[in-house]
Amino acid sequence: MEDQLLAFLNFLSNERNYSDNTIAAYRNDLSQFLDWLNVQYPEVLYWADVSYLMVSEYSDILKRKSYTASSVARKVAAIKSFFHFLLARGYITSDPTANLDSPRVKKRLPQTLSSDDVERLLEAPTEKDSPKNLRDSALLHVLYATGMRVTEAVSLRTDDVNLPAMVITFPGKDNRLRELPIDEETRDILVDYLENGRPHLVKDKSESALFLNHRGKQLTRQGLWLIIKAYAEQAQLGDKVTPHTLRHSFAAHRLSSGTELREVQQLLGHANISTTQIYSQLYNEQEKADD
């Protein structure tokens, strides 16, 4: 059973080009289900032996536990996707999840900042003049100017930045190159960081990561989260700012300024425009609130 689970995870990675974080979530959810099966139904030796009643029982147990509705929905969706894969690959002859209902989850609109709040956040690192603050200023400006994901930001190399052309180029989730424009202010802040900040942080001249931590290595996702959290507190924005907040704010503000939805989709790197449409809904809600 472990072999089929591994085959599914490889399928998500190699054929669906899912991110490492998404694959890790699938692995955790499906391993949790398999562990439960091993305890409750030790006689089950093959995925073909899993019945609808077993999966339904597991779903009911999840609902009774302290998981949020969205977590239960995600876990059930992972199981359904896995069995769809098993059926398509011939590992099973019938899908025990075919009639399994997924929990209904009210889709929450993304949390965004106002333009004034974004300005306060971007200004926070400028209160001190140090290599670290120059890095943090460049990092926050790049996140808001491009709307890139946190993983994409920390993975940037110095060669990805074309300052004369004012663009940042890097592989997207589908391994296709994405080219994101930056404004003059972000370009100038990047120049300052590259000339006066990064040289004081780098320890190994062969290090190519754009954003470095205090050890001279590539900044981690956790490190970026702590940076944003600290400046959000400094700017008195409370706990409403997360690493994804600037991405959400970028999309919402682009739409409110008249950028077409399809262009915002391309800038965000969304495979489906339906993913981007939630920002249109957010914009419409804000318009109603302002009326």
Fold of the CATH domain 2-88 = DNA polymerase; domain 1 (1.10.150)
In the chain, % of residues over pLDDT 90: 49
Per-residue confidence (pLDDT) for residue 290, from 0 to 100: 43
In the chain, what is the straight-line distance between the N-terminal and C-terminal CA atoms, in Å? 57
Residue 280 CA to residue 261 CA, distance in Å, equals 8
Q: For the chain, give the percent of residues with pLDDT over 70.
A: 91
Among 61-75, 102-116, 117-131, 219-233, the range scoring the smallest mean pLDDT is: 102-116
Q: Which pLDDT belongs to residue 277?
A: 77
pLDDT digits (tens, 9 = 90+) for 143-181: 999 988 888 899 999 999 999 999 999 876 656 678 899
> What does the pLDDT read at residue 258?
84
Return the pLDDT at 288.
43
- 187 pLDDT above the threshold of 90: yes
CA distance 72 to 59: 8
What does the pLDDT look like over 87-118, one tens digit per residue?
998 999 989 988 887 766 555 666 788 889 99
Instruction: Give the pLDDT mean for 49-68.
Output: 87
Which active-site residues does the annotation give? 149, 173, 244, 247, 270, 279
What pLDDT shows up at residue 59?
87
pLDDT, tens only, 11-27: 988 887 787 888 898 99
- Residue 9: pLDDT above 80? yes
pLDDT band at 68 (very low <50, low <70, confident <90, very high): confident
Nearest to 248 by CA among 144, 167, 169, 121: 144
| Closest to 36 (Cα-Cα) out of 90, 69, 75 | 75
Tokens representing residue 130 in the block: 């140090």
Give all strands of the β-sheet with 161-162 in edge-to-edge order.
161-162, 167-171, 177-181
For the chain, the C-alpha Rg in angstroms (whole number) is: 22
Please name the amino acid found at residue 228.
I
* HSE value, Cβ hemisphere, 13 Å, CA-based, for 149: 13
pLDDT score at 108:
64
Query: What is the mean pLDDT of the segment spanning 242-254?
Result: 86
Q: What was the pLDDT predicted at 289?
A: 42
Single-letter code of the amino acid located at 155: S
* Extents of the domains making up the chain: 2-88, 115-290
pTM, rounded to two decimals: 0.64
Residue 237 has pLDDT above 70, yes or no: yes
pLDDT of 79 > 60? The answer is yes
Structure tokens belonging to residue 102 = 């997924």
pLDDT surpasses 90 at 193: yes
Fold classified for 115-290: hpI Integrase; Chain A (1.10.443)
Buried b (16+ CB within 10 A) or exposed e, 111-137: ebbeeebbebbbebbeeeeebbbbbbb
